[in-house]
């Protein structure tokens, strides 16, 4: 790839500087209205243990299995561990989110009313807090691009892209554009019990492009 770049472009790449910092998405170390562009693909609502799934990468970055890893695993968005205290759903999360949570809590399958309901509430709480922080630091007319994937809880459809859109509206982040892509390599294929609730395994990945209007 480097060999096909011309000399001027290569010099430009070499002279660039990038500063990488790590922080919680629920508490960003940035001033209000200071960021012009946000690009992210937050953890999908699929109960994947991202800390375990990315442990080799975390080890390379220097995370300790004994000290850093357990704490990181507890605070990640989408963690499979549930805190002792979980908040109640908020109206600001939107009707799509709250209807889904009600369907999960009333599902007849084992632990739906307890673990799985709390796990989903915890997920949406973290997502909303992170969106709130994005809205705070984003400059007027700034853009936020998020890659989101829908999913299912048993046979209950989780329209996560629509949930994010409704959350964004409550935070004055307005959907400017959207692109949907069919995704057949769903993690649902791994679980053989999935076929009990539905026949298809595919999902949709959505690129959501938000803009923060001036003065909001």
Q: Which two tokens stand for residue 161?
A: 């892209």
Identify how many contiguous H helices and E strands the chain contains and give both numbers: 8, 6
User: Quick one: which of 95, 53, 101, 46 has its CA closest to 73?
Assistant: 53
Supply the angle between the helices 160-170 and 95-105 in degrees, to the nearest 10: 130
pLDDT at 155 over 70: yes
Sorting pLDDT into bands at 50, 70 and 90, what band is 12? low
| pLDDT, position 1 | 59
Model pLDDT for residues 161-212, shown as the tens digit of each residue: 999 999 999 999 999 999 999 977 655 555 555 555 566 667 899 999 999 9
**C-alpha torsion angle, residues 87, 210, 100, 190 (rounded to 10):** -100
Model pLDDT for residues 24-67, shown as the tens digit of each residue: 999 999 999 999 999 999 999 988 888 888 888 888 888 787 77
| pLDDT, position 9 | 57
| pLDDT, position 46 | 87
| pLDDT, position 7 | 57
Q: How far is CA 162 from CA 40, 178, 180, 211, in A?
A: 17, 11, 12, 16
Cα–Cα distance for residue pair 44/126, rounded to 1 Å? 12
Average pLDDT, stretch 12-28? 79
Q: Which two tokens stand for residue 78?
A: 């989408």
Model pLDDT for residues 97-151, shown as the tens digit of each residue: 999 999 999 999 999 999 999 999 999 999 999 999 999 999 999 999 999 999 9
| pLDDT, position 4 | 60
166: Cβ–Cβ under 8 A, 6 or more apart, which residues?
A: 93, 94, 95, 96, 97
| pLDDT, position 125 | 96
């Amino acid at each position: 790839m480097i060999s096909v770049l011309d000399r001027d472009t290569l010099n430009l790449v070499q002279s660039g500087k990038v500063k990488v910092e790590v922080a919680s998405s629920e508490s960003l170390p940035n001033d209000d209205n200071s960021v012009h562009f946000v690009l992210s693909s937050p953890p999908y609502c699929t109960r994947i243990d991202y800390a375990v799934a990315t442990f080799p990468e975390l080890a390379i970055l220097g995370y300790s299995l004994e000290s850093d890893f357990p704490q990181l695993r507890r605070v990640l968005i989408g963690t499979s561990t549930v805190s002792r205290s979980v908040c109640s759903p908020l109206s600001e999360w939107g009707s799509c989110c709250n209807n889904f949570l009600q369907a999960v809590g009333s599902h007849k399958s084992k632990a739906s009313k307890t673990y799985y309901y709390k796990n989903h509430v915890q997920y949406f709480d973290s997502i909303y807090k992170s969106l709130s922080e994005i809205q705070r630091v984003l400059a007027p007319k700034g853009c936020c691009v998020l890659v989101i994937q829908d999913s299912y809880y048993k046979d209950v459809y989780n329209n996560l892209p629509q949930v994010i859109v409704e959350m964004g509206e409550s935070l004055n982040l307005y959907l400017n554009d959207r692109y949907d892509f069919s995704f057949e390599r769903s993690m649902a294929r791994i679980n053989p019990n999935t076929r009990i609730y539905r026949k298809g395994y595919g999902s949709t990945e959505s690129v959501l492009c938000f803009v923060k209007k001036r003065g909001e």
